[in-house]
Structure 1
């Protein structure tokens, strides 16, 4: 019995790590045990520091490692640069652009090195390193407290700067993104900041390669005002894309060259064939 309990608890941790959330009801059904058994499991895992309580009795993994921006640079490298190439093509001369922290947004900054007559503001130290020597661009740093893992600035100083500015376009990164919840992040200060960034911009883009779609590895979420645009790569499945279209999100799918590679899924398209 103890061995079965250990296996079940290990699987609970795995599931919570994958989805970011695990409710008592879902786990009770998954493992065919009573809710009280699951609550005891969760209490023990919480004591061990493997899980933490969130709203509604759900559990989220706190030991899930947040990769640094340096670690993420090589992940889905070609996909990220394809997304960045498409994003760069959307920016017109004379526009004001807000760039978030993150490896895909940093790839976009690299694509903008040959641009002129742009006003660019950023919360990203990585973006500043990309554009710091480009004299043809006006670059503003929204300073604040530096999060070393993301190489991005957060906090009240950053937010105060944003409150005084507006932008034509904002390009946001994400640790994960779902159709119903929005952007998933590791830190609540990041969610507040991203919401302000979207609110103060005329057009909002979320740059996320296919592996991030439908994922919620952490328990902090960014609610984005409609409409917004998801830009992803062409390895994304229709099942992953359709929920976004149903929620009214504009979906753009591009190849590694930054060309649109497939039409967006229809909002009324079923996720599975109907018999």
Structure 2
């Protein structure tokens, strides 16, 4: 057990160091280790999560930098050509007068150049980059911002307030991001708050497209996942391995290659 006299700041630093070195921890394990209450640990984890240092999982926490999640600006520089191709193809699926729900993610944000001059379009989004990109007063696009707790790594809003807002919205098409899409049809993310938001979005629209470049297919990344209904389509690019595409098609998913 660690020294119970650690200050809150010292305890949070120690939690970060141990979680980075040792992997995921649960709230109860951390409470026992530091001889504090679970509610105290939850406050610590909230502070570390707000700083973008830890990602909350079901019942616990995982170190972000120790387990490979990069920030949105970092991800925006990865697979740029693939993301642009996927984003353009996705935008071509949008009809005039549609109401869209755009999820978090750099591939989703890459759609905005194809949307900002579209007439009779409404965009509902928790994605701060999308909100900024479509905020030009000359753009005819109507933007409905979904606010909540700002998840700084992904520059998007999550949490109970965002979920409540989306439960009151009805859209035509949703475009979802993903950290990865596994061979058994699981959409994977770092935190359960992210997957909960995607589940709600999926219920509020007629059609769902999951945008994931080729290197994201056939993998399980992060500590949270949701099972994609067969009606959800996956948009990827030519770098995707044929076996990964066929695995998803065998589950009933339409897979569209940009």
CA contact (8 A) 1:176 1:216 kept: yes
The reply to whether residue 249 of structure 1 matches residue 222 of structure 2 is: no
Helix, strand or coil for the counterpart of 2:243? helix
Q: CA deviation at 1:47?
A: 11
Shift of 1:223: 2.3
CA distance in 2, matches of 1:249, 1:172: 15
Q: Verify the 8 A CA contact 1:83 1:233 in the aligned structure 2.
A: yes
8 Å contact kept, 1:198–1:224: no
2:164 equivalent to 1:191 = no
Q: 1:50 maps to what in 2? A: 23
RMSD: 2.3
Matched, 1:90 2:93: yes
Give 1:150-161 correspondences, 5 Å limit.
Answer: 150-161=154-165
Size of the aligned set, in residue pairs, is: 207
The runs of 5 or more residues in structure 1 that have no matched partner are 1-44, 255-275
Unaligned runs of 5+ in 2: 1-17, 27-56
Name the residue aligned to 1:209.
213
Larger Rg: 1
> Aligned partners of 2:167, 2:24: CA distance in 1, in Å?
36
If the length of structure 1 is used for normalisation, what is the TM-score? Answer: 0.70
Give the deviation of 1:135 after TM superposition. 3.1
Q: Structure 2 CA distance, aligned partners of 1:161 and 1:93? A: 24
Deviations, residues 138-195 of structure 1 (Å, cap 9, x unaligned): 1000111100000010011111111111111000001111142421101110010011
Query: In the aligned structure 1, how far is the partner of 2:186 from the partner of 2:212?
Result: 12
Contact 2:230 2:251 in 1 (8 A): no
Distance of 1:109 and 1:144 partners within structure 2: 22
What pairs with 1:89-238 in structure 2 (closer than 5 Å)? 89-133=92-136, 134-238=138-242
After superposition, where does 1:69-84 map in structure 2 within 5 Å?
A: 69-84=72-87
